[in-house]
Structures are given as C-alpha cells and as structure tokens.
Amino acid sequence: MTDGKPSHGRGTAAEQGAALRAAADRETGQTHAHEHRSSRRSSRRVSAHESPRTSERVIEEDDARHHRKSSRRTSRRHADHRHSKEDHREREPSKRVGTAAAQGAAFRKGEEPAPPSAEQTREARERHIRAAYGETPKLGKGSPNKPPVYPMTGIDNLALLMEDDSYTTSCFSIYMFKTELDLETVDNFFEVLAETYPKYRYVVDLDPKLSKKLEKQTLKGDPGSSPPRGDFDEGRRTRYAKGLKAGSLFSPARWRFVPDFDLKENIEHVAQCPDGGDDKALNKLAGHFIGRHYDYSKPIWEAMVVNGLNTSDGGRSALMIKIHHCFSDGQGMIQSYHAALGALEQGVGIRDIQNKVDTNTSQNKRPGQREDKPTVLGTIQHAGHLARGLYFRKRKSFLYQEKRKRAAGRLYCHSEGIDMDDIKMIRKAYGTEKFNLTLNDVALAILARALRIASERVDPSRRHKDKRVAIFVPISVRPKGDWSLSNATTGSIAWLRFEKEAKPDFEEQLAQVHREMGRVKRSYGPKILYKVFDTFSKRRITYLPNYPLLRSIYYRAFREYHVATNVPGPPKPVKFGDHEAYSYHVLPPSSPGKSTMAIGMISYANDFSLAVSCDDVPEFKHLAEEICKAFQDAAAQIIEAAHEKLGSKKEGGATKAQ
C-alpha cells in the first residue's frame, strides 16, 4: 500500500509552488524562498502601485511564463535554485529601490522597506489613472503630455477668479460663409480637433476636494468612462465679492479629462437666424452668445452654427466659437483651429503644418522689429506712467449715463475690412530707418482715430472731454514652436492720444503710438506682472480683489481701460470641408470694469478687420456699430493722407534728380 503521496512525475504541489516562487524571485532579483521564514505573500503595500487592471494582466502573463519555465522539457529550476549568493548580490543593484518588488523583498527579509521616491510615486499614479481613463491624452506640438487630472496654473486660475454674475472671460471668434455650412462638417472638425488637442474634453473642477472624489470614481469605473454629470453648473460663488470660487484657499482649480464626453453637446445649431438673418440679427445673436455663462459640468468651450443668414456682404451661414480664457489665450485658440483645418485640407500630419508655420514666421520677421530692449530705468518710468494714468485721471468717454451695476449682456459688431496692401502703404509712407513703424503701430493709430470719431457720434455732449484713451494691449510670452492650449499672455496699458478733428496730424498720431509702445517694450513690467499674477492667483487666499478695500483699488483701475488685441490670422482663406470662410473676426475678453469694451483686430486673407463688443445698455445701443463704421472712415482718412505723402515724396525725389 502506498503512503498516500501522488506518484506523478512533476513533484508535489509544495515542490511545484516552491519552484514557481523561485522562478519569480529570479525574475525580480528577490531572495530565494529558503532564505527567509516570513510569509511569501504580503498584503502590505507601501508604495503607489499600478492599477488593478494592469497588475492582473502582468500577473497572468508572468504566471504563464513561469509555468512554461517549470515544464519538464525546458525547466532548469534545480540548477538555477543552486545559484550562489554571490550571483544574487551581483543582480541586487539592478533592483530599483522603492519599487513594489524591492519593498516585498525587504519585507520578507525582515528589513525596513525603502519608500518610493517622489518620481516613482508620480509615475505609478499616472499609470494607474491612465489605465482607468483609457487612452493617454496628448496635446499639440511644444506641449508635454498632460495627465488626466492636473492643477491649473496661476494665470488659468486668475481667469476664473475674475468671473462674476455680470462678467466672464471669453475668447471669441466667428467665421462667415457664403454657403450653407452643415452641422456634420462642424461635428467632424471638432472630433479632429479633440483628437489633436484632447483639452477640448477636459472639464474644470472648481472644488479640488470634489475633483479628487470624481477622480477616485473614475478609477473604479470602466476604462474610458467618467462619473455621471449633473444639471447645468453655473459655478460656486464667493460670499463677499460674488465671484467664481475657483480652487480652495491654498490650491487652484483642476483640469479633469472626460474621455466619454460627446462633443456634440457643446455645439448648438440655429437652423434659421431670427429676425430675417440680416447683419443686425446676426450681431444680436453673437452678443447673446458672447455674454452667456458657461456650464461647468462640461468642457468650457461652446460653438454655434447659424444658418439662414442674409447679410449685406452675402453671408449665408456662420460658425461662432468661444472658449474660456482659462482654457487658452487667443493665440492658442487660433493656432489649434487652423492647424487642424490645414491638416484636414492638405491631408498631412498636424506637426507638418505646425513646422511649416513656424518656419514661415521666422522668415517673415523683419530685422529691427524688436529694437527696444527692457531696462531697469525703463521699468521705473513705465510704472510711474501706469500709476499716473490709472489713478490720477478719469476717462470721460463711453460711460454709463445712469448709476447702475455692470450689465451682464453684450453687444457685438464687426467691420468690413481694410486691404493689407493699404496697411503696408501707410508703413511705407510714414516709416523711416529710425522710425520703424510696425503693423501694430498702424492698427492702434487707426483705432485711436476711430474711437475719437465714434465718441463724438455716439455722445456729442462729451465732445473733446477726453484727450486720450487707455488701451490694454496683450503681449505674448509664448515660446516659439509652442502650439499648446495654454495661457502665455501678459500685457500693458498704452494711452493713445486723440488728435484734433479739424486738422488731424496722422504723422504725429503714428509717432505717438510708436513712442507709447516703445515705452512698453523698454519695461520689464509685463513679464513681472505675469510672474506675480501666476504666483498669487494659484491660491484664492492671496487673490487680493477678494478683500473689500483692495477690491475697490483694483476695480478703480479696471474701469479705466479697454482691451484691444491685434493677432495675425491665416494669409489664405480657410475651409471647413467644402465651405470657405470669406470673413473671420476675433475678440479678446474685456476688462472686468463696467462700461469697458473688447476690441479684436486680425489680418485674414489680405483683409484687416475689427470686431467690438460692449455692455448691453441703452446708451451703448449703437456704440459697437458706430466704432466699426468709424474704423473704416479713419482708415480711409489715413490711407488718403499716406497716398498724398508718397506722392509728395516722389515729386521731391524727381525735383532733386533734375
């Protein structure tokens, strides 16, 4: 009679288990089973580890590999089991200190496990989250891969903190078409855009604590899914200032990737523009679109397709897009749209489009375009100039006629456009070797002239009361080749002088704008402000306008200036499928102060145009429209004067030749 032991040729279960553990030890560099007496499996996890899904797959693969190695035909476990401790010590340094394997080995030896490094913890956590979320999000060229959940920068958080019931920071753009743009084309465009820039599927979590709970729910759910969303979320508010309560007292709001978000939820379709679809109807619809607040349960961008138009310039449809300023600055927004459109139209990779644009930008930069360098003296002078203009002067144009809080709604209008050849001609007529006029100088000079004309047309009672207008000019600090959706913009205020109506001196107007912009370029102020706001706005406790006395100081300055940006657009018309956009206009956010305007200037397909938005109050009913008309009139005046100046130069040259 036998003793009850199995008689098969593969050994007892204990021997097979010992062999498997020895094989696993050899794979990870751990001690052999006979060298310790502690439990071979420890439930103690000291370090951050991979997700259960990933871990299970790895274990299954390892088990299969170990079973293959323990087969009778191929196994060398008996010889390997007799490896000396010297060989084991040679392999010992290859272990990564702090990993789960190294900690397990130390625990079985009875030693104190070494904790993981901060880098190992971060990597393990990101692997865990990415396994739960599905595909790893990737941004555009020049931007590192972003994890599915990450904190905002101070500048991003600032754009949220400034928002209240009557103000939101939005970057707006509108494309006009002479064909009927179909909804499917727009849906496909945003799908491609979200594939290239996954940030279009990120939501803002205003409460970091709630964000962490949602993150944990995502980890427990199926890969590629996210927690269910609630109803419309207008965002929580602070008690005193009633502003957006972004982040906690000591940490900013967070970005969270929602992989299963249906982009169509953010695309609205107006099949027939109301009120006949003329210019006024389109502008009214655009103003309503700009002024409405975001739903913080969804990614904070919106699009609107408008059909049934009948505008004076032949427009039949329009595409409006707006993004919250915390999402990106205007340059990042424009770059993302047109890089995706270029890749679709040309059938090439998006990086090819980006590289081509970067190369052309470097080649087109004029020598001497940035001749002014910042200095300490220039910074001190600029600081005094800002303080004097913001706190010792008060603007008298474009104000409410009655005492009231800021209106929540917005009014909108855009101009026809100026030929870019005329802009070049103005630069040629008034520019010299020492007086190097830039496109921005010419644009701001035309704008200053237009605001002077519009102020007199809208409110003749305030004629000549203002001698200048304060304009906040955004300045990009975005590195070359950075195509990410991010905020890399600072800025400064320039005071543009109003020339006399009777005999305007356009040469002096251009010279004054050039001097004012030179003052900004010679100052470190914009870069200092960028770093200061980025640091202090990360924490709600250090956001100074939230405190009563400081809030009044800040908003005293906010009321003094308008925001005007000048951005380069595509040199050729862009296409959405088979639909070519014949006109394109953009807008920056306005200042948080009441009765302030947002003004956007852009060059597009050899046209230079202007767009304006202002508060929706009775006294501003025609303001946006009048500024656009005045922009065309002011440009015509300066172009005519430039033609005369060029003609006199030619006559003078011919006389000298004789």
Q: What are phi and psi of 655, to 5 degrees?
A: -65, -40
Contacts of 400 (CB under 8 A, 6+ apart): 594, 595, 615, 617, 619
pLDDT given at position 379: 94
pLDDT given at position 337: 85
pLDDT given at position 349: 72
CA dist., res. 104 & res. 565, Å (int): 59
- pLDDT-derived band of residue 577, with 50, 70 and 90 as boundaries? confident
- Mean local confidence (pLDDT), 629-658: 82
Contacts of 516 (CB under 8 A, 6+ apart): 494, 495, 496
Return mean pLDDT, the chain: 80
The residue with greater pLDDT, 510 or 224, is 510
Is the per-residue pLDDT at 110 higher than 70? yes
Residue-wise pLDDT tens digits, 132-155: 444 433 334 435 568 889 999 999
- Mean local confidence (pLDDT), 434-454: 91
CA dist., res. 462 & res. 232, Å (int): 43
Q: pTM of the predicted model, to two decimals? A: 0.76
Residue-wise pLDDT tens digits, 524-546: 999 999 999 999 999 999 999 98
Q: What are phi and psi of 600, to 5 degrees?
A: -120, 130
Among 77-91, 108-122, 161-175, 222-236, the range with the most confident prediction by mean pLDDT is 161-175
- Mean local confidence (pLDDT), 79-105: 55
Is the per-residue pLDDT at 68 higher than 50? no
> What three-state secondary structure class fits 597?
coil
- pLDDT-derived band of residue 463, with 50, 70 and 90 as boundaries? low
Q: Can you state the angle between helices 420-430 and 623-657, rounded to 10 degrees? A: 50
* Residue 547 structure tokens: 């405190």
Give just the sign of the alpha carbon dihedral 528, 533, 535, 541: positive
Integer angstrom CA distances of residue 390 from 167, 426, 494, 560, 594: 21, 31, 11, 6, 15
- pLDDT-derived band of residue 80, with 50, 70 and 90 as boundaries? very low
Residues pairing with 563 in the sheet: 472, 598
CATH of domain 149-401+431-647: 3.30.559.10
pLDDT given at position 6: 43
pLDDT given at position 652: 65
- Percentage of the chain beyond pLDDT 90 is 47
Is the per-residue pLDDT at 82 higher than 70? no
Q: What are phi and psi of 191, to 5 degrees?
A: -65, -45
Do the bridges between strand 418-419 and strand 607-615 make them parallel or antiparallel, or are there none, so unpaired?
antiparallel
* Nearest residue to 154 (alpha-carbon basis) of 480, 544, 474: 544
Instruction: Pick the range with the lowest mean pLDDT from 353-367, 420-434, 446-460.
Output: 353-367
- Mean local confidence (pLDDT), 624-645: 94
* Nearest residue to 127 (alpha-carbon basis) of 48, 57, 71: 48
- Mean local confidence (pLDDT), 29-39: 43
- Mean local confidence (pLDDT), 102-128: 71
pLDDT given at position 135: 45
- Mean local confidence (pLDDT), 237-250: 89
Amino acid letter for position 503:
K
- Mean local confidence (pLDDT), 230-253: 89
- Mean local confidence (pLDDT), 387-407: 88
> What three-state secondary structure class fits 447?
helix
Q: Are 440 and 517 spatial neighbours (Cβ–Cβ below 8 Å)?
A: yes
Q: How far apart are the first and last CA of the chain?
A: 134
Among 63-77, 86-100, 307-321, the range with the most confident prediction by mean pLDDT is 307-321
pLDDT given at position 117: 77
pLDDT given at position 134: 47
pLDDT given at position 393: 86
Instruction: Pick the range with the lowest mean pLDDT from 60-74, 157-171, 318-332, 421-435.
Output: 60-74
- pLDDT-derived band of residue 25, with 50, 70 and 90 as boundaries? low
| Residue extents of the structural domains in the chain | 16-33+48-116, 149-401+431-647
Residue-wise pLDDT tens digits, 475-513: 988 888 778 888 989 999 999 988 776 677 888 999 999
Count other C-beta atoms under 10 Å from residue 310's C-beta. 14
Q: Is 242 left (phi over 0), alpha (psi -120 to 50) or beta?
A: left
pLDDT given at position 161: 94
CA dist., res. 605 & res. 572, Å (int): 5
* Residue 604 structure tokens: 């597009």
The residue with greater pLDDT, 20 or 52, is 20
Among 64-78, 103-117, 249-263, 453-467, the range with the most confident prediction by mean pLDDT is 249-263
Instruction: Pick the range with the lowest mean pLDDT from 155-159, 247-251, 270-274, 356-360.
Output: 356-360
Q: What are phi and psi of 285, to 5 degrees?
A: -65, -40
- Tell me, rounded to whole angstroms, the distance of Cα 572 from its chain centroid: 24
